Amino acid sequence: MNKPGNKIGPIDFLLFSTIMLLVAIGVVMVYSASSYSAFFNPDIKDSMYFLKKQGLWALIGTIFMFFAIKVDYHKIKKYTKILMIIAIILLLAVFAFPAVNGARRWIRLGPASFQPSDMAKYMVVLYMAKSIDVKGEKIKSLIYGVIPYLLVSGFYAGLVLAEKNLSIATVIMMVTLIVLFVAGAKISHMAGLIGLVGLAGVAGIILEPYRMARFTSFLNPWADPKGDGYQLIQSLLALGSGGIWGMGLGKSRQKCYYIPEPHNDFIFSIIGEELGLIGCTLIILLFVIFIWRGIVTAIRAKDTYGTLLATGITSVVAIQAIINIAVVTGSMPVTGVPLPFISYGGSSLVFNLMAMGVLLNISRQREHT
């Protein structure tokens, strides 16, 4: 690839429009999905509570995104090590806070909460892009090119797994494999790595009884309709109730205490109920466009660093979107992966939008116009 030059062009407007449309839909659907439970919650009593918070985080994230669009993405290199150390410190800091539903994933500061795992998945991408850019053809070596990245990513994934967050740990390892493949790692090495990651995932399910229960409930949720299969059954009821055209925005029944916290991981089922197959298809189409433009940005990046950075950022969003939609539709076991840009969550939205700023900055400095 060509060495970095000084040519700065316009951002990929289609990519930018897709991102902002997803964010806008997310803010609207968070309000629609949460208004009922927020209004009848004795501690909140405000139907617009989650709308206000998500809208604020969307605004903050958008500001950070525009800042990242303006700053040359190559400048991130010098801060990569310190950012990685900060991510490790934050991943360890969660254990100083009380567990929520048996998991320690959050750092709580007053009314706000922060998930360090939202930062960690992008830190792995920054590290790999910078290191592989320097390593060059050595990436084809198993000992010097592949295993070091597997160990570093495995370390971060291990810390996330210790927080009882197998889903994001899996995302980190899957993104690692994608970046290694794009970087030029040998297919034979990749096949072995995929096998190892797959075995690790199976072990993570088998060794935790609650994960095993989730897996078996996915195969037949009606075997335990009031227990482990409850959430998936309610999700399928929501999707089925929506039909082709949906019941109308704000008219979901499943959000009325049937689906727990419908504005979070299962917001796609509320979209299906209120906006129908048409709405679900639109969301999927937007993610397909995002993935397409992300791949185009990676291909047209003017250097290896930009290509790998764009690949990793696109992969983080793509994998999470695929997993979330697959879970909500009963295509894979229930796991806690939010739908990027749409599910409620401040730290997730802010870090995603910051990463989108970097991706759009890469699109400005492309090799071809």
C-alpha separations of 252 from 36, 40, 53, 162, 280 in Å: 10, 16, 21, 36, 14
The pLDDT tens digits for 106-118 are 888 777 778 999 9
Instruction: Output the pLDDT for position 137.
Output: 83
In whole angstroms, give the CA distance from residue 295 to residue 287.
12
Look at residue 346 in the predicted model and tell me its pLDDT: 87
More confident residue, 203 or 278: 278
Contacts of 53 (CB under 8 A, 6+ apart): 344, 346
State the residue for tokens 């009031």.
226
Do 238 and 273 contact (CB within 8 A), yes or no? yes
- Please determine, for residue 3, whether its predicted confidence score (pLDDT) is greater than 70: no
What average pLDDT is seen over the chain?
A: 90
Give the ranges where the chain is alpha helix by DSSP (H).
Answer: 13-39, 49-70, 80-93, 116-135, 147-162, 166-183, 187-206, 209-219, 230-242, 267-300, 304-328, 346-364
CA 218 to each of CA 102, 225, 238, 321, 329: distance values in angstroms, whole numbers, following the listed order: 21, 11, 17, 18, 10
How far is it, in rounded angstroms, from Cα 294 to Cα 307?
Answer: 10
Task: Provide the pLDDT for residue 367.
Answer: 65
DSSP letters, 167-220, are HHHHHHHHHHHHHHHHHT--HHHHHHHHHHHHHHHHHHHHTSHHHHHHHHHHH-
State the amino acid at position 54 in one-letter form.
Q
Question: Which helix (H) or strand (E) covers residue 109, if one does?
Answer: strand 107-109
The band of 1, judged by pLDDT with boundaries at 50, 70 and 90, is very low
- Give DSSP secondary structure letters for 294-312: HHHHHHHBSSHHHHHHHHH
The fraction of the chain above a pLDDT of 90, given in percent, is: 65
pLDDT tens for 212-256 read 776 777 788 888 888 878 999 999 999 999 999 999 999 999 999
Does residue 69 register a pLDDT over 70?
Answer: yes
Average pLDDT over residues 143-149: 87
Q: Given pLDDT bands bounded at 50, 70 and 90, which one contains residue 369?
A: very low
Mean pLDDT (whole number) for 12-30: 97
Does residue 5 surpass a pLDDT of 80?
no
Q: Which pLDDT score, from 0 to 100, does residue 333 have?
A: 82
pLDDT given for residue 286 in this prediction: 98
Q: What is the mean pLDDT of residues 179-185?
A: 91
pLDDT over 70 at 2, yes or no: no
Distance, CA of 65 to CA of 212 (rounded, Å): 39
pLDDT band for position 52 (cuts 50, 70, 90): very high
Range picked from 157-166, 168-177, 305-314 for highest mean pLDDT: 305-314
More confidently predicted of 142 and 1? 142
Instruction: Supply the pTM of this predicted model.
Output: 0.92
CB count within 10 Å of CB 21 equals 16
Q: Is 8 helix (H, G, I), strand (E, B) or coil?
A: coil
Asked whether 284 and 325 are in contact (CB, 8 A), the reply is yes
Work out the average pLDDT over 337-366. 94
